[in-house]
Structure 1
Amino acid sequence: MKTRKIGALETSCLGIGAMSFADFYGATTEENSQAILDLAHELGVRHIDTSNVYGMGRSERAIGAWLRANPGAREGLHIATKAGITRDAEGNRRFDNSLAHMEVELDASLERLGIDCVDLFYVHRYQAEIPAEEVAGTMGRLVEKGKCRSIGFSEIAPSTLRLAHAEHPVAAVQAEYSLATRLPEMGMVQACAELGVALVAFSPVGRSLLTDHPIDRERIAGNPFLASNPRMMEPNYTRNLEIVAGFRALAAEMGLSAAGLAIAWALHRGDHVLPIPGTRSVSHFRELVQGAEASLTAEDMGRIEAVLPVGWCHGDRYSRTQWIGPENYS
């Protein structure tokens, strides 16, 4: 498995996005999540990316149970988690980047994971009322306390990254980045490369659009997030399926699954890009790893761009409600 650097640490070029361990895209079990972790470890995938809010701790507990069942596995792993999303007394979502909140949440994550320190701790949603430099300083104090080895931010703008990084080194920015979502190329890919920051790409297979088996309409209807996501709503969904048929055909011609080719494309966008696909399927995970091992030429990249040019995807990546929190810098 090829490697990438996150801060001063080196890890696999492919990670696991562990939101799928918490029923977000469909029902799963802890046994199934652990089977994926078993295979990942066998195949050399060492980065695990989770959050305190994935199933309200369920994802972290599944990872912690796997670590307990595999003594010694922690060595060599790169484990990341996040905090910063919370709820007020009325149940409304809000963001809290204060030291008191972030430290309490990190302590709870460490307990669920069964470890003393995470390798990377992200601000899951930046609280815009607080200067980015102050938030970075807050996160730096947790590094000083030995509770995390490095800090990161999720879904921020390049300008916010620069302000934060000037106060305390930012090891990683997590952003949605794929052939379906090219927004990071409007400054974030470049800023991360310039500053030596890893770009951790979530949803690198476009929430299944960039696979051989896109999620079906019945499952979309039963998933509150997808059912209200513009790209998964009609007529956008049908239009998107029609377009990605050409991508699936190209992948087959290249000897890869569509998901594998999507991962290979993401990795070829820069040595600092690290995709973290999520899955509940062991066989699908093998396809993703196949993409991490593929080599693409400039001609291959051109053919991919020809079938899925920038802006091909119909519908915004988030609904109005889903856009609350992420920084949109377009």
Structure 2
Amino acid sequence: MQQRQLGKAGPHVSAIGLGCWNFAGAYGPTSEKESHETLAAARDLGITLLDTANVYGMGVSETVIGSYLRDNPGHFKLATKAGIRRNPDSGERWFDNSDEHLHSELEASLIRLGVDHVDLFYIHRREATRPIEEVVETLQRFQREGKIGGFGFSEISPASLRLAHAVAPVAAVQSEYSLWTRQPDLGLVQACKELEVAFVAFCPLGRGIFADQAPDPATFGKQDFRRSNPRFVEPNLSRNLAAIAPFKDYARDLGATPASLAIAWLLARGPHVIPIPGTRSASHLTDCVQGAAIELTPAQIAEIEQILPAGFAHGDRYSAAQVIGVETYC
């Protein structure tokens, strides 16, 4: 698989990574065995970047990855995150980017993953009242201690990225980005390119909306993130499925699957863009990876964007409860 770089001085990784939120049951029940099979498939497919976080299942995702790595060391570059505090009983969450909290959470992540350092450590959500420059100084100390390689920020604005990058080079920014979530096009993708920062695109398949089989709310479990997500609630869901149907037809006309074409579109946004689809299925992952082999022409990109113009989606990408902590801009 083609390679892309995690920042100007970071390691090269596969152009498509694997998002590991699903290992914690975000989109339905799963098992350690199923997750290990997906990790084995990722390795066989040439994927070298795994993306997780301390709060994915309150440590479940990291623990599952760690148990796989004990028997299969090496190969993968690891990215994890911290900065969100969550009450497991009430579900209440808040943000803490203090040195003390980030240090303790990083140490706990390293134990669960079974490693002595991670290649990329993100601030999961920015604590609005704490200067981002102070947070960068904390992250630089983690680098000096050998606990992390590069550092990054998730769901921040271009302005915040520039403030952080002025203190020390940011390796990566992670935000939701796909054909139906285009806000990063309003400055963040461009700022990352200018500053030579990797843009890691999570939910590149729109939480399953671009899969061959349309998501069925009747199958959503109690913990499924989409149960309360505006784009998957009627009447928005039916409207979105109708809008996406011509795109799926176009993919098949090109001899591709909708998922692989959606990934190919993202890869064409720039050599610094790294999609990280999340799945519990080895076959679905194989479908995603096929996107790296598709080289879209300018005419094909124009056709895709005519079928699915920016802003076509019905409903906000997050509910009011889900959007807390995300920096908005423009």
SS at match of 2:118: coil
Which amino acid is the alignment partner of residue 109 of structure 1? S
1:85 corresponds to: 84
Residues 186-206 of structure 1 deviation map (CA, whole Å, 9 limit, x = unaligned): 000000000000000000000
Instruction: Output the CA distance in 2 between the equivalents of 1:273 and 1:249.
Output: 26
* Structure 2 residue 58 is matched with structure 1 residue 56: yes
- Across the two proteins, how many residue pairs are aligned to each other? 327
1:111 corresponds to: 111
* 1:1-330 map, 5 Å: 1-7=1-7, 8-70=10-72, 73-74=73-74, 76-87=75-86, 92-220=92-220, 222-223=222-223, 225-330=225-330
Instruction: Output the CA distance in 1 between the equivalents of 2:293 and 2:282.
Output: 17
CA-CA distance at 1:281 after TM superposition: 1.1
Instruction: Output the CA distance in 1 between the equivalents of 2:196 and 2:147.
Output: 23
Higher-RCO chain (CA-CA 8 Å, sequence separation at least 6): 2
User: Identity rate of aligned residues, in percent?
Assistant: 52
Residues 204-245 of structure 1 deviation map (CA, whole Å, 9 limit, x = unaligned): 000111121121021247445312111011110000001111
Q: 1:90/1:42 Cα in 2 relative to 1: closer, same or farther (>3 Å)? A: closer
Higher mean displacement: 84-93 or 207-216 = 84-93
Asked if the contact 1:247/1:258 (under 8 Å) is kept, the reply is yes
SS at match of 1:153: strand
SS at match of 2:173: strand
Which amino acid is the alignment partner of residue 162 of structure 1? R
Alpha-carbon RMSD: 1.3
Residues 106-127 of structure 1 deviation map (CA, whole Å, 9 limit, x = unaligned): 1010001100000000000000
Residues 58-115 of structure 1 deviation map (CA, whole Å, 9 limit, x = unaligned): 1111111111111xx42x4211000000036976211000111001001010001100
Higher mean displacement: 40-49 or 90-99 = 90-99
Instruction: Output the CA distance in 2 between the equivalents of 1:243 and 1:234.
Output: 14
CA-CA distance at 1:267 after TM superposition: 0.4
Which amino acid is the alignment partner of residue 249 of structure 1? D
Residues 142-197 of structure 1 deviation map (CA, whole Å, 9 limit, x = unaligned): 11111001100000000000000111211000000000100000000000000000
Asked if the contact 1:220/1:232 (under 8 Å) is kept, the reply is no
SS at match of 1:170: coil
Unaligned runs of 5+ in 1: none
TM-score scaled by length of structure 1: 0.96
TM-score scaled by length of structure 2: 0.96
SS at match of 1:27: coil
Which amino acid is the alignment partner of residue 265 of structure 1? W
Asked if the contact 1:150/1:171 (under 8 Å) is kept, the reply is yes
Which amino acid is the alignment partner of residue 179 of structure 2? L
SS at match of 1:286: helix
Which amino acid is the alignment partner of residue 127 of structure 2? Q
Higher mean displacement: 194-203 or 130-139 = 130-139
CA-CA distance at 1:50 after TM superposition: 0.2
Instruction: Output the CA distance in 1 between the equivalents of 2:233 and 2:300.
Output: 31
